[in-house]
């Protein structure tokens, strides 16, 4: 039984376009991409979606991004607009703060791709990263064109993960989904408490130092300074951050107690210095030599930092 593209109504705003709907898109091939701005899996997929939009729009492809927020701060349309600009996204984006389009598609994943033919029928779908060549072949088949795949190379946070060295999973810090917390005396939920780092962390454990409040979706720094430590094994380490104060919050990254040097991520310098200015994913570490088990520590220089999830690549 054919499943037609659901309505695209309910978005609080559209970026790069007037509101779109299935009747107005009939006769075009449509690729619907569900994403959220802090998702590392979407960030690594996005260079492909962007390249397909640019390569096939003249043949009749319309890419529609649907930004459905995972964390509360991602409901801020200005944050979505900044993410669109940072990724050079020029195709239409629906700001789906109320999960209207997400629910209409019965979607459950970031990122998700839905391939819609010219008759408005969903002909294929894919969830998560990967399968890029096959996805592009689907687009070509729906458009009736045949050519070599578009060359794509992600850089910075968009670079493909080093899957062979990845031994640390995505780790949420809020108590609703958090695990592997290792500060002595455990966690106090929804109340301010002083924490200390343990003498050592086992692989994939994390801990806090300073005065923090552990909430349902994040940990928020209450004191004048504080730190988060994580023992990981991966080429890259990222942290989703936002701020509860208006001014920027400085931070410093240490690897095994020292400046990261050449192993610094795109959001810190070789000495480990970075600045939390807007809510997004920050790349803290990218190792270029042999990947091994390391201890990452992020020291914040003022209250207001809010940390949500570590991701690795």
pLDDT computed for residue 135 by the predictor: 98
Is pLDDT of 237 > 90? yes
pLDDT computed for residue 246 by the predictor: 80
Is pLDDT of 1 > 80? no
pLDDT tens digits along 16-31 = 999 999 999 999 999 9
- Residues 174, 175, 181, 184: what is their CA dihedral angle, to the nearest 10 degrees? 110
pLDDT computed for residue 302 by the predictor: 87
Residue extent(s) of CATH 2.60.120.260 domains in the chain: 163-312
pLDDT computed for residue 305 by the predictor: 96
CATH architecture label of 163-312: Sandwich (2.60)
pLDDT tens digits along 49-103 = 999 999 999 999 999 999 999 999 999 999 999 999 999 999 999 999 999 999 9
Average of per-residue pLDDT across 267-273: 98
Average of per-residue pLDDT across 130-157: 96
Say which CATH superfamily domain 13-158 falls into: Glutaredoxin (3.40.30.10)
Helix 132-143 vs helix 40-56: crossing angle, to nearest 10: 30
pLDDT computed for residue 290 by the predictor: 87
pLDDT computed for residue 2 by the predictor: 79
pLDDT tens digits along 157-207 = 999 999 999 999 999 999 999 999 999 989 999 999 999 999 999 999 999
Q: Report the distance separating Cα 77 and Cα 291, nearest Å.
A: 37
Residue extent(s) of CATH 3.40.30.10 domains in the chain: 13-158
Is pLDDT of 37 > 90? yes
pLDDT tens digits along 40-54 = 999 999 999 999 999
* Helix (H), strand (E), coil (C) string for 14-71: EECCCCCCHHHHCCCEEEEEEECCCCHHHHHHHHHHHHHHHHHHHHCEEEEEEECCCC
Strand partners, 298: 228, 253
pLDDT computed for residue 285 by the predictor: 98
Give the rounded percent of residues in the chain with a pLDDT score beyond 90.
96
CA distances, 53 to each of 29, 59, 62, 87, 257 (Å): 11, 10, 7, 13, 44
pLDDT computed for residue 66 by the predictor: 98
């Amino acid at each position: 039984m054919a499943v037609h593209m659901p309505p695209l109504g309910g978005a609080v705003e559209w970026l790069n376009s007037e509101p779109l709907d299935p009747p107005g898109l009939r006769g075009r091939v449509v690729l619907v991409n569900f994403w959220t701005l802090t998702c590392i899996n979407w960030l690594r997929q996005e260079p492909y979606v962007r390249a397909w939009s640019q390569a096939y729009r003249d043949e009749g492809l319309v890419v529609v991004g649907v930004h459905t927020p995972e964390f509360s701060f991602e409901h801020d349309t200005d944050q979505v607009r900044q993410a669109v600009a940072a990724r050079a996204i020029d195709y239409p984006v629906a700001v789906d703060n109320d999960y209207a389009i997400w629910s209409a598609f019965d979607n459950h994943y970031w990122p998700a791709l839905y391939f819609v033919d010219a008759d408005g029928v969903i002909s294929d779908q894919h969830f998560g990263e990967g399968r890029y060549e096959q996805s592009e072949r689907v687009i070509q088949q729906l458009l009736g064109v045949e050519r070599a795949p578009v060359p794509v190379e992600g850089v910075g946070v968009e670079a493909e993960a080093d899957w062979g060295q990845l031994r640390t999973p995505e780790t949420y810090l809020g108590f609703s989904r958090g695990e592997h917390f290792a500060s002595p005396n455990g966690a106090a939920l929804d109340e301010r408490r002083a924490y200390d780092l343990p003498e050592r962390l086992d692989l994939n454990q994390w801990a806090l130092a300073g005065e923090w409040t552990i909430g349902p979706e994040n940990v928020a720094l209450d004191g004048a300074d504080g730190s988060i430590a994580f023992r990981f094994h991966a080429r890259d380490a990222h942290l989703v951050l936002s701020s509860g104060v208006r001014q920027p919050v400085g931070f410093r990254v240490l690897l095994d107690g020292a400046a990261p040097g050449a192993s610094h991520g795109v959001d810190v310098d070789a000495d480990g210095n970075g600045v939390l200015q807007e809510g997004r994913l920050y790349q803290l570490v990218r190792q270029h030599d042999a990947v091994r088990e390391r201890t990452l520590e992020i020291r914040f220089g003022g209250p207001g930092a809010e940390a949500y999830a570590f991701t690795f690549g």
